[in-house]
Amino acid sequence: MKPYKDMNLQELRAERVRLEEILKTFKDKNLNLLIARGIPSVEQVEVSNEMLDVINSKTVNISSDGVDCRNYGGGLTGIAEAKELFSEYLGVGADEIMVAGNSSMGIIGEILAHSIRKGVLGSTKPWSAYPKIKFLCPVPGYDRHFGFCEYFDIEMIPVPLGEEGPDMDIVEKLAAEDETIKGMWCVPKYSNPSGISYSDETIRRLANMKTAADDFRIFYDNAYAVHYVYKMVEILNILEECKKAGNPNRVYMFGSTSKMTFPGAGVALFAASKENIEHVIKGMSAM
């Protein structure tokens, strides 16, 4: 078929008629299709059913730090055993993680909103004090990340995503030139839709790059940290690389167990430097 760019007006009109006829045949079928991605099948969910039988009234309810898990106590960062388990999952210290809720999207949205309302650690003013703020958005990327930007009126700057990760020449240039670029979205492992994982060089450059904004943050959604596509891939720990680079507060890491056990009854994770965790907790404690 001739490329659209090579068609004349008459040919384009004929092609439109042809496509509308194809569309009509599908519409006439009155299909009711669920095309949402990432929803496990019934068979996948049933693999975890026996987990429902692990806890009963005779199970010990006191955590290792003496907190009665049946009561209000425990603090905002999560149960000690959960933090110990998932700090290993994300490769951080127990004082660098927060376990809260069951939706990583919920935690991402809340921390983004907090940054807009109050700023981040080291901010001279909240992000909302700027006429416009911007995020770097590797494309193709995750539509729900971009949906946050649309909701909060954050300008999105597309950056090509290749086999090694985002084009770092472009990322470094943009981040170094514009102080209104406050953040960047990253899915570092098995990124949708192509399944690429960031190279060591890309992660090191993200950790080391100069930014015009002192309060720049990488929103690092490591949704598939222990999953694999075709083969197991290991990537560098970006928090450790940020520490080595002298930028320990640059990255916010997120994850969840939604694709492991029961999507509606898992746990969501937020990891960052100890100082970032303490800063976020101050904001969340009011809520």
Q: Looking at the DSSP assignment, which residues form a beta bridge with residue 271?
A: 97, 253
The predicted pLDDT at position 220 comes to 95
Quick check: bond before 193 cis, omega within 30? yes
pLDDT < 70 stretches in the chain: 37, 73-74, 229-230
The predicted pLDDT at position 73 comes to 64
d(C-alpha 135, C-alpha 216), whole Å: 10
Residue-wise pLDDT tens digits, 149-159: 999 999 999 99
The predicted pLDDT at position 82 comes to 87
Residue owning tokens 């640059």: 250
Residue-wise pLDDT tens digits, 102-138: 888 889 999 999 999 989 998 889 999 999 999 999 9
What is the pTM for the complete model shown?
Answer: 0.84
The predicted pLDDT at position 133 comes to 95
Cα 63 versus chain centre, distance:
29
d(C-alpha 73, C-alpha 280), whole Å: 19
Q: Count CA within 13 A, CB hemisphere, residue 73.
A: 10
The predicted pLDDT at position 229 comes to 61
Integer CA distances (angstroms), 161 to 9, 133, 170, 235, 250, in order: 34, 22, 11, 17, 21
